[in-house]
Amino acid sequence: MSRASSSRRTSFVRRGAVAALAASTGVVLTACSGGASSEPSGYDGPIGAVDLSQSCPETIVVQTDWNPEAEHGGMYQMLGPDPQIDAGAKRVSGPLFASGEYTGVDIEIRSGGPAIGFQSVTSQMYQDTDIMLGFVDTDQAIMSAGSNPTTGVYAALEKSPMMIMWDPASHPEARSIADLKGTDAKVLYFEGEPYMDYLTGTGILDPNQVDGSYDGTPANFVAAGGTNGQQGFASSEPYVYENEVEGWKKPVDYQLVHDAGYPTYKSPLAVRSGELDGYASCLEQLVPVMQQAMLDYFADPSTANAVILDAVEQFDTGWVYGQGNADYAIDTMLEQGLVGNGTTPAMGDFDTERVQRLIDITRPVFTKQGKDVPADLTPEQVATNRFVDTSISFPGQ
């Protein structure tokens, strides 16, 4: 997921490149994070209504898929007083709170992307078993099901923010990704992204018009005067291109890849499948805490966002993320339904029919790539609603 440059520093490596690189090359890059968990916070306040100390690890380690950002806000919402930012290890840790009350354990939030050498979260989880939960996209879970299986236990995002964007002035008739077909538009994306095989395989885009050489920078989009289409995140790039990209600074239009028929869950929390039962008693209490933390974050994101922005500044990876981008992300996630209750009253659950559809879509793609997707893979192996509290939901939906 790219974030454009400020006048101070530049970083254009996208989150999408992490999965693409790992999937297409198998390259293992040197990580900055990993290793032993942080020292205990030492917090000794009274434990509130939710006591995780008897069922959960002393420190719940969460591996995210990118630098700190608003899409991760629910995780940072769970941090209690005086969280510690470890700039070297690219981690934030502190006592784990549930709606303002101590739970008896700590939480450690580890950054992904550059912090783990652009490895996939799944790879990191299997290399470092201190990690209890990782942000594993559902299509990535399907791809790795035969080698490093994971099971999603909580879907923080209802829709993936992944989108294809275009210049409305260059393509005034375009209302969807499919409208770019038959035009002169070259559609730039990261090689190895399975959603593109879906878009071309179903005829939404012409295989001859897609270009997998996208490197995360806006240079080609700007140089082409907007005639290109380009992948990005709806919760970031429209703001960044309109407000920060020199030589552009005007609106873009887009369609979510989800709304074009590719229904992956982006960044659900997952455990190693073989440890699902072992963590069950913890997850029964923890998943509802995570659900409520997401609702609390969207009710008032100020405290969590202050930590996110401080961590970005201290980590100094080249990633630029300011208050304007965070505010835009929150508004967009709500307006576009990237967060919400989905087809049920509960937030954070998985639609098993949707997961099955994704298995059906991606199996031939991954088989062609030589990935071992078990023939008997079921939606319940990829994602489970076993621990979701169905009474927790976004109000008014």
In the numeric block, the tokens 């380690």 are attached to 61
Q: Number of C-alpha atoms within 13 angstroms, CB side, residue 104?
A: 14
- Distance in angstroms (rounded) separating the CA atoms of residues 32 and 111: 9
- The whole-number pLDDT of residue 10 equals 33
- The whole-number pLDDT of residue 23 equals 42
* Residue in 290, 383, 382, 393 with CA at minimum distance from that of residue 340: 393
Run means of pLDDT, 10 residues per run, the chain, 397 residues: 30 43 41 71 96 98 96 98 97 98 98 92 97 98 97 98 97 97 94 92 96 90 94 96 96 98 98 98 98 98 98 93 97 97 95 98 92 95 98 91
Structure token pair of residue 123: 């790879």
- The whole-number pLDDT of residue 5 equals 26
Buried b (16+ CB within 10 A) or exposed e, 10-32: ebbbbbbbbbbbbbeeeeeeebb
User: Nearest 5 degrees, angle CA 133-CA 319-CA 2?
Assistant: 80
Q: Give the DSSP letter string of 209-244.
A: GEETB--S-SHHHHHTTT-SEEEEETTTHHHHHHHT
Q: Could you give all domains of the chain from N- to C-terminal order, each with its CATH number?
A: 31-158+265-382 (3.40.190.10), 162-260 (3.40.190.10)
- Distance in angstroms (rounded) separating the CA atoms of residues 168 and 227: 9
Instruction: Tally Cβ neighbours within 10 Å of residue 46.
Output: 7
The pTM is what? 0.91
The contacts of residue 327 (CB under 8 Å, 6+ apart) are none
- Distance in angstroms (rounded) separating the CA atoms of residues 356 and 319: 35
